[in-house]
């Protein structure tokens, strides 16, 4: 079933896009990530112009995070104070990200920069997750008792001034730390079309030292607002948000996310983390190869 | 646009020079199957039928054995484009290294002819009428050396050809009884909207004897037109609708899933 995308200016098979959204949604529901890191590259492979892909993938991540946020709010799994500070940083970061995006676009290096950031980020986080979950699986097999990890924030975070209390996170730290964290993730959201959950969650755990119960909910809360902002920025600057493409992706991904969430409740978390790590490393490896291999098209055309 | 029209304006002049015989020249009466192409939700491209008749003075066909040929060219609106060329940086990764701007490259160009265009006309005449993808007047805005300009032009033409936007179809024009002709041209879905032209040329003995043009309008209609306009003119509202849509979808899916 072919359908014409009015902003991307080409026709696509609607079923393929819905299934793509569904597959990504399944993963996002299983692993609690937005899935933007998969949607954008897959859409580009399918032939959607990169700018339209990044701009429309952001709204898919918004949709995928909404139901998650509602579920976590009911469970009191969202620290609104911490979330608010992260969102504030994220909004400022996304505006700056939009400016960097246009600058790189004008110089013609946006695709290379996006690919390099993807390789570095996905590669390092994937490797960390893989080694951590593999260690956990081996420890459980040998029957050793779990090591009690002492929950505490990074010394750098402790040195920042203006401390305040974040009750639900169980923290007494400076709001500057989450503000800077939100700012950095906001820049990446605009540049890469990702929600940033897979950076935010480890950072909240290991840098800020937040209570595990509120980490995922608060991260989704931040993702919801910052990706909504990213859609707005793209709509007003690059004008590349294709609402038909976004609707098709959403249709698949929100359904897939619900199925994924049910599957996840039946699996062991450390196996899920290992599976996610493998997927992340595969994506990073594919993009790295793409940088080094001779590209299919040496020439590219843009309107001026 | 200017460049594209120039040969047409010159055409009567040039034809006057090239046909010194006192006989009245033949006239082309062309038409296309669709004057307006509307892009709607299931648009996957259009199959244009270009047809017409060759009217000879007093209805007499030339009785020598020189072949008569027809060339049909469909051109899209010209665009100002920037072409980038990738190069390997430090032997490690491929990056966009150099670029060249073109002021008026046609967004779409299809040429159908009754036999390969190189067998009908010499290179100079082909360049005057812009017949064939290698004879296009791209008007590069650059003072780069000619070898580099050639390399970019070849790269651009090959890229456009691979995506079906520059097409050469020798042998696609069918001539019946020497007076009727027909050709099919496929317009892919990824063409820009705007005014397209269908030019028909009558070629005999290495000369263009007659030319005629028809306009084709391609535009988005209905919902597609509404979306494209809203995105452009009411960007903030459009963005808000996109965000609202994604929140609604996510919320609805969550509600439905809770029931089961």
Strands (E), A93-229: 164-166, 171-173
Among A9, A232, A301, the residue with its CB nearest the CB of B192 is: A9
- Best mutation target among B253, B256, B259, B260 (most A Cβ atoms within 10 Å) is B253
Range of the domain at A118: 2-142+150-292
Residue A300 covered by a domain:
no
Residues A241, B242: C-beta atoms closer than 8 Å: yes
pLDDT digits (tens, 9 = 90+) for B178-216: 889 999 999 888 888 899 999 999 998 888 989 999 999
Instruction: Determine the Cα–Cα distance for residues B109 and B196; give it in Å rounded to an integer.
Output: 10
CA–centroid distance for A48 within its chain: 20
Residues B40, A234: C-beta atoms closer than 8 Å: no
Is residue A54 helix, strand or coil?
Answer: helix
Look at strands B207-220 and B78-89 and give their pairing.
Answer: unpaired
Among B94, B190, B246, the residue with its CB nearest the CB of A62 is: B246
Q: How many domains does chain A have?
A: 1
Q: Which residue has the higher pLDDT, B260 or B250?
A: B250
**pLDDT of B250 strictly over 70:** yes
Token code pair at residue A80: 């609104």
Measured between beta carbons, the chain A residues lying within 8 angstroms of B235 are 235-236, 239
The answer for residues whose C-beta is within 8 angstroms of residue B174's C-beta and 6 or more apart is B114, B181, B182, B183
A255 and B CB contact within 8 Å: yes
Q: What is the mean pLDDT of chain B?
A: 84
Residues B190, A10: C-beta atoms closer than 8 Å: yes
CB pairs under 8 A between A and B: 180
Residue A298 covered by a domain:
no
Cα atoms in the 13 Å half-sphere on the side-chain side of A138: 6
Residue A196 covered by a domain:
yes
Output the pLDDT for position A19. Answer: 93
Residue A172: name the closest of A148, A149, A153, A156 by CA. A153
Residues A4, B245: C-beta atoms closer than 8 Å: no
Instruction: Determine the Cα–Cα distance for residues B224 and B240; give it in Å rounded to an integer.
Output: 18
Measured between beta carbons, the chain A residues lying within 8 angstroms of B96 are 108-109, 111-112, 300
Contact B49, B232 (CB under 8 A): no
Residue A304 covered by a domain:
no
DSSP assigned state of B67: P
ipTM of the complex: 0.82
- Best mutation target among A61, A262, A287, A304 (most B Cβ atoms within 10 Å) is A304
pLDDT digits (tens, 9 = 90+) for B56-88: 887 777 777 788 899 999 999 998 999 988 888
Q: What is the mean pLDDT of residues B235-253?
A: 90
Query: Chain B: nearest CA to A113, how far in angstroms?
Result: 9
**pLDDT of B14 strictly over 70:** no
Instruction: Determine the Cα–Cα distance for residues B86 and B81; give it in Å rounded to an integer.
Output: 16
Look at strands B36-39 and B207-220 and give their pairing.
Answer: parallel
pLDDT digits (tens, 9 = 90+) for B130-166: 998 888 888 888 788 888 888 998 999 999 998 889 9
DSSP assigned state of B141: -
Instruction: Determine the Cα–Cα distance for residues A31 and B260; give it in Å rounded to an integer.
Output: 21
Collect contacts of A24-27 with beta carbons under 8 A, ≥24 apart. Answer: A24/A60, A24/A249, A24/A252, A24/A253, A24/A256, A25/A64, A25/A252, A25/A253, A25/A254, A25/A255, A25/A256, A25/A257, A25/A259, A25/A260, A26/A256, A26/A257, A26/A259, A26/A260, A26/A263, A27/A256, A27/A260, A27/A276, A27/A279
Query: Chain A: nearest CA to B213, how far in angstroms?
Result: 27
Output the pLDDT for position B2. Answer: 46
Contact B73, B28 (CB under 8 A): no
A131 and B CB contact within 8 Å: no
Residues B96, A234: C-beta atoms closer than 8 Å: no
Measured between beta carbons, the chain A residues lying within 8 angstroms of B42 are 1-4, 11
Q: What is the pLDDT along chain A (304 residues), one digit of tens a residue?
A: 788 888 888 888 999 999 999 988 888 777 767 777 788 878 887 888 877 888 888 888 888 888 778 877 877 777 888 888 889 999 999 889 888 888 888 888 887 888 888 888 888 888 888 888 888 888 888 877 666 555 566 666 666 667 777 777 677 777 777 888 889 988 888 887 777 777 888 788 777 777 777 777 888 888 888 889 888 988 888 788 899 999 999 988 888 888 887 787 777 777 877 888 888 888 888 888 888 887 777 888 877 7
Residue A299 covered by a domain:
no
- Dihedral of CA atoms B4, B8, B9, B13 in degrees, nearest 10, equals 140
Residues A108, B99: C-beta atoms closer than 8 Å: yes
Measured between beta carbons, the chain A residues lying within 8 angstroms of B41 are 3-4
Query: Chain B: nearest CA to A258, how far in angstroms?
Result: 7
Instruction: Determine the Cα–Cα distance for residues B111 and A73; give it in Å rounded to an integer.
Output: 62
How far is the CA of A95 from the CAs of A53, A226, B44, B231, in angstroms?
A: 19, 10, 37, 20
A189 and B CB contact within 8 Å: no
Among B86, B189, B245, the residue with its CB nearest the CB of A246 is: B245
Output the pLDDT for position B19. Answer: 47
**pLDDT of B10 strictly over 70:** no
**pLDDT of B16 strictly over 70:** no
pLDDT digits (tens, 9 = 90+) for A32-79: 677 777 888 788 878 888 778 888 888 888 888 887 788 778 777 778
Contact A181, A86 (CB under 8 A): yes
Phi, psi for residue A75 in degrees, rounded to 5 = -85, 5
Among B95, B162, B246, the residue with its CB nearest the CB of A59 is: B246
Cα atoms in the 13 Å half-sphere on the side-chain side of B245: 23
Q: Assign 3-state DSSP to chain A and report helix, strand, coil percentages, each to 5.
A: 75, 5, 20
Residue A92 covered by a domain:
yes
**pLDDT category of residue B256 using cuts at 50, 70 and 90:** confident
The residue in chain A having the minimum alpha-carbon distance to the alpha carbon of residue B232 is A239
**pLDDT category of residue B106 using cuts at 50, 70 and 90:** very high
Contact A249, B253 (CB under 8 A): no
A236 and B CB contact within 8 Å: yes
């Amino acid at each position: 079933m072919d359908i014409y995308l009015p902003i991307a200016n080409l026709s696509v098979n609607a079923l393929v896009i819905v299934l793509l959204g569904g597959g990504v949604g399944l993963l996002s529901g299983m692993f609690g990530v937005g899935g933007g890191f998969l949607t954008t590259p897959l859409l580009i492979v399918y032939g959607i112009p990169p700018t339209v892909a990044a701009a429309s993938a952001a709204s898919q991540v918004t949709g995928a995070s909404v139901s998650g946020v509602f579920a976590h709010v009911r469970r009191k799994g969202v620290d609104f104070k911490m979330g608010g500070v992260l969102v504030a940083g994220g909004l400022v970061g996304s505006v700056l990200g939009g400016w960097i995006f246009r600058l790189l676009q004008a110089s013609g290096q946006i695709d290379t920069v996006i690919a390099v950031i993807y390789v570095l980020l996905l590669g390092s986080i994937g490797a960390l997750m893989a080694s951590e979950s593999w260690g956990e699986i081996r420890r459980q097999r040998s029957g050793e008792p779990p090591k009690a990890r002492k929950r505490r924030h990074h010394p750098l975070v402790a040195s920042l001034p203006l401390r305040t209390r974040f009750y639900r996170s169980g923290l007494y730290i400076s709001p500057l730390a989450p503000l800077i964290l939100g700012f950095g993730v906001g820049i990446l959201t605009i540049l890469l079309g990702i929600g940033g959950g897979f950076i935010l969650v480890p950072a909240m755990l290991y840098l800020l030292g937040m209570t595990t119960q509120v980490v995922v909910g608060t991260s989704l809360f931040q993702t919801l607002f910052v990706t909504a902002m990213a859609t707005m920025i793209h709509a007003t600057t690059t004008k590349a948000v294709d609402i038909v493409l976004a609707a098709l992706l959403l249709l698949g991904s929100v359904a897939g996310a619900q199925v994924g969430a049910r599957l996840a409740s039946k699996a062991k978390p450390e196996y899920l983390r290992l599976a996610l790590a493998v997927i992340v490393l595969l994506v990073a490896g594919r993009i790295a190869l793409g940088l080094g291999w001779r590209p299919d098209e040496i020439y590219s055309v843009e309107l001026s | 646009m200017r460049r594209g029209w120039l040969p047409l304006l010159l055409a009567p002049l040039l034809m006057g020079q090239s046909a010194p015989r006192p006989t009245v020249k033949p006239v082309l009466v062309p038409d296309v199957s669709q004057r307006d192409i509307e892009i709607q939700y299931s648009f996957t491209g259009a199959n244009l039928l270009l047809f017409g008749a060759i009217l000879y003075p007093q209805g007499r066909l030339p009785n020598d054995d020189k072949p008569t040929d027809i060339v049909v060219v469909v051109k899209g609106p010209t665009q100002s484009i920037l072409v980038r060329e990738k190069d390997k940086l430090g032997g490690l990764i491929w990056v966009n290294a150099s670029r060249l701007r073109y002021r008026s490259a046609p967004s779409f160009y299809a040429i159908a002819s009754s036999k390969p265009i190189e067998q009908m006309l010499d290179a100079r005449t082909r360049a005057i009428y812009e017949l064939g993808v290698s004879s296009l007047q791209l008007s590069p805005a650059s003072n780069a050396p000619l070898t580099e300009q050639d390399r970019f032009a070849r790269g651009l033409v090959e890229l456009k050809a691979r995506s079906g936007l520059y097409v050469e179809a020798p042998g696609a024009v069918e001539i019946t009884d020497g007076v009727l002709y027909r050709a099919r041209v496929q317009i892919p879905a990824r063409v820009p909207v705007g005014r397209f032209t269908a030019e028909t040329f009558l070629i005999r003995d290495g000369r263009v004897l007659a030319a005629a043009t028809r306009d084709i309008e391609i535009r988005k209609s209905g919902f597609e037109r509404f979306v494209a306009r809203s995105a452009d003119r009411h960007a903030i509202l459009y963005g808000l609708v996109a965000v609202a849509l994604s929140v609604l979808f996510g919320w609805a899916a969550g509600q439905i899933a809770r029931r089961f």
